[in-house]
Amino acid sequence: MVKSEMPAIPRDDLHVVFNSNALPLQQIRDTVRAHGICFVTDVPVEIDFLETFVEYFGTVHVPATYPAFYDIDSSLSEGVANNKQELPPHTDDPYEQHPPEIIFMHCICNRAEGGDCTYVDGLKVARDLHENDPKSFEVLCSVEIPYEKRFGGVSRATKAPQFVRNSEGCVTGVRVNPFYRGKPEVDHGMLEIINSAQAALNEQCTRPENMIKKRLQAGNLVILDNSRILHGRTEISGTNKRLLRYCSMSRTQFCRK
């Protein structure tokens, strides 16, 4: 198993202060590499700042189902991200054979009631299940789950286990998303086993000790490894605006110097 160092609550070494005169690019890379996530503070709140910022790292990924730079806007109702209901911890775009690897989310404004972000280290969850519930762990590693997204008459779909192991048997990534998850084509007995393992995974992902809960403020920027860190948010109420700008890039682009 891959040892995870993700803390139960935010620590100082997860935070980097933005400095336009001396961009802390390597510090950001090192933090994401070590912990899977980095919070950058004191970032400009201009709507197009993210486009400029990510160029220091590399070329953005262009998804098949939404723009390269995507606004998560609480005043809209289309799409999972803009829904005001609580979003459980998940990874993005599991229906793609190769989901986004490094995700950027820039908070431009947040006057909404609720909408606090939640983050969970999937590698820590996998390690805990490996130690405490090996049967569920093995199911999550071995059973391929169908994922599908339909848009504009087109379907994007793939099958993959929720825990991804390398040739040495170590978990190197996770793919967890209830919004696009389908039902495996298995008999009733096996489906009960899968559902039990899913319940164990869900329970681990919602434990307070496994979760960072953080309210993003205008001028905050979060960078996370989508193959490791699950993200979600609490329910949004009222009509006050919450606006994040989102993009992603490959790990190779992000880690280059």
pLDDT digits (tens, 9 = 90+) for 71-124: 998 876 667 777 788 999 999 999 999 999 999 999 999 999 999 999 999 999
Q: What is the pLDDT of residue 17?
A: 77
Model confidence pLDDT, tens digit, residues 38-54? 999 999 999 999 999 99
Please state, in angstroms and rounded to a whole number, the distance separating the CA atoms of residues 27 and 38: 9
- What share of the chain in percent tops pLDDT 90? 77
* Domain co-membership, 111 together with 130: no
Q: Name the average pLDDT for the chain.
A: 90
Q: What's the confidence (pLDDT) of residue 54?
A: 95
Are residues 114 and 138 located together in one domain of the fold? no
Distance CA 188, CA 193 (A): 9
Report the number of distinct structural domains present in the chain: 2
* Residue 141, domain member (yes or no): yes
Same-domain pairing of 28 and 131:
no
39 and 109 share one domain: yes
For residue 69, pLDDT over 60 is answered with yes
> What confidence score (pLDDT) does residue 84 get?
82
Would 195 be classed as within a structural domain? yes
* CB within 8 Å of 130: residues ≥ 6 apart: 1, 137, 171
Asked whether the beta carbons of 121 and 229 are under 8 A apart, the reply is yes
Specify whether 158 is located in the same domain as 51. no
Q: Considering Cα of 90, then 95, then 100, then 104, what sign does the dihedral take? A: negative
Residue 8 has a pLDDT of: 42
Crossing angle for the helix pair 134-142 and 188-205, nearest 10 degrees?
110
230 and 114 housed in the same domain: yes
pLDDT digits (tens, 9 = 90+) for 167-212: 998 999 999 999 999 999 999 999 999 999 999 999 999 999 999 9
Selected residue with higher pLDDT from 155 and 92: 92
* Same domain flag for 116 and 216: yes
Both 20 and 106 in a single domain? yes
Domain of residue 96 covers 12-120+211-250
Q: Do residues 168 and 67 both lie within one domain?
A: no
The answer to whether residue 256 is domain-embedded is no
Same domain? For 79 and 153 the reply is no
CATH number at residue 219: 3.60.130.10
Helix ranges, 60-133 (H): 122-132
* Of 6 and 98, the one with more pLDDT: 98
pLDDT at 9 (0 to 100): 39
229, pLDDT greater than 60:
yes
DSSP string, 132-164: H-HHHHHHHHHPPEEEEEEETTEEEEEEE-SEE
The lowest-confidence range among 13-17, 181-185, 226-230 is 13-17
Query: Does 7 reside within a domain?
Result: no
Question: How far apart are alpha carbons 140 and 196 in whole angstroms?
Answer: 10
Instruction: With respect to residue 227, please indicate whether it lies within any of the assigned structural domains.
Output: yes
**Structural domain includes residue 5:** no
DSSP, collapsed to helix, strand or coil, labels residue 49 as: helix
Q: Are residues 75 and 63 in the same domain?
A: yes
Please indicate, yes or no, whether residues 113 and 194 belong to a single structural domain of this protein.
no
In a domain, 21, yes or no: yes
- Mean pLDDT within 30-45: 93
Cα distances (Å, whole numbers) of residue 80 to 149, 165, 203, 233:
11, 28, 22, 12
Residue 234, domain member (yes or no):
yes
Quick one: pLDDT at residue 83?
Answer: 75
